[in-house]
Structure 1
Amino acid sequence: MTLYDHFRPEERPFIDQVLTWKENAELRHQDKMTDFLDPRQQDIVQSLIGQQDDVLVKMWGGATGTERSRAYIHPSYLVLDPDEWPLTLLEASYPVKFIQLSHRDVLGALMGSGLRREKFGDMTVDDGRIQLIVASESADYVRMNVLSAGRATIDFQERSLDHFHLPEEKWIEAAGTISSLRLDTVLAQIYRVSRSKAADAVERGLVKVNWRQTEQSAFVVREGDHLSVRGWGRSRLLMIEGTTKKEKIRARWAKKG
Structure 2
Amino acid sequence: MKENETLKRRVLDLANRCYQQNIYTFSGFLNAAEVSDVYSMERELDFIPWKLFGGTEGCERQMLRFGSEETLGYEEEFPISCVVIRPSAPKFAEALSHRDFLGALMNLGIERDVLGDIIVRDSVGYVFCEDAIAAYLADNITQVRHTVMTTEVTKECPGQAAPQFLEEEFVVSSNRCDAIIAKAYKLSRTRSTELFHAGKIFVNGRQYDRNSGILKSGDIVSVRGFGKFVFRGFLQETKKGRIRVGIARYV
Using the size of structure 1 for normalisation, the TM-score is 0.63
Residue 17 of structure 1: CA displacement?
A: 1.7
* 1:106 to 2:97 alignment: no
Aligned counterparts of 1:59 and 1:11: Cα–Cα separation in 2:
18
Identity level (%)? 21
Aligned counterparts of 1:42 and 1:79: Cα–Cα separation in 2:
27
1:28-67 counterparts in 2 under 5 A? 29=22, 31-49=24-42, 54-67=47-60
Return closer, same or farther for 1:79/1:61 CA change in 2, 3 Å cut-off.
farther
Q: Specify which of 91, 98, 103 is matched with residue 97 of structure 1.
A: 91
Question: More displaced, 67-76 or 127-136?
Answer: 67-76
Q: Contact conserved, 1:88 with 1:160, CA < 8 A, in 2?
A: yes
Residue 141 of structure 1: CA displacement?
A: 1.8
Residue 28 of structure 1: CA displacement?
A: 5.1
Q: Specify which of 17, 20, 30 is matched with residue 13 of structure 2.
A: 20
Aligned counterparts of 1:52 and 1:195: Cα–Cα separation in 2:
37
Unaligned runs of 5+ in 1: 1-7, 212-220, 237-253
Residue 35 of structure 1: CA displacement?
A: 0.9
Residue 51 of structure 1: CA displacement?
A: 10
* 1:209 to 2:200 alignment: yes
Residue 69 of structure 1: CA displacement?
A: 2.2
Residue 124 of structure 1: CA displacement?
A: 2.1
1:152-231 counterparts in 2 under 5 A? 152-165=147-160, 166-169=162-165, 176=175, 191-194=185-188, 198=191, 209=200, 222-223=209-210, 226-229=222-225
Aligned counterparts of 2:111 and 2:102: Cα–Cα separation in 1:
11
Residue 186 of structure 1: CA displacement?
A: 11
* 1:129 to 2:119 alignment: no
RMSD of aligned C-alpha atoms? 4.2
Return closer, same or farther for 1:176/1:186 CA change in 2, 3 Å cut-off.
closer
Q: Contact conserved, 2:97 with 2:123, CA < 8 A, in 1?
A: no
Aligned counterparts of 1:93 and 1:168: Cα–Cα separation in 2:
19
Structure 2 counterpart SS, 1:137: helix
Q: Contact conserved, 2:49 with 2:67, CA < 8 A, in 1?
A: yes
* 1:68 to 2:57 alignment: no
Aligned counterparts of 1:44 and 1:78: Cα–Cα separation in 2:
26
Residue 137 of structure 1: CA displacement?
A: 0.4
Once the two structures are superposed, residues 21-56 of structure 1 have per-residue CA deviations (whole angstroms, 9 ceiling, x without a partner) of 223334454531111122332233233246967411
Letter in 2 for 1:87: I
Name the counterpart of 2:239.
none
Between Structure 1 and Structure 2, how many residues are aligned?
A: 214
Aligned counterparts of 1:11 and 1:51: Cα–Cα separation in 2:
14
Residue 145 of structure 1: CA displacement?
A: 2.4
Return closer, same or farther for 1:28/1:88 CA change in 2, 3 Å cut-off.
closer
Q: Contact conserved, 2:14 with 2:27, CA < 8 A, in 1?
A: no
Question: More displaced, 11-20 or 185-194?
Answer: 185-194
Unaligned runs of 5+ in 2: 203-207, 211-219, 231-246
Aligned counterparts of 2:126 and 2:8: Cα–Cα separation in 1:
31
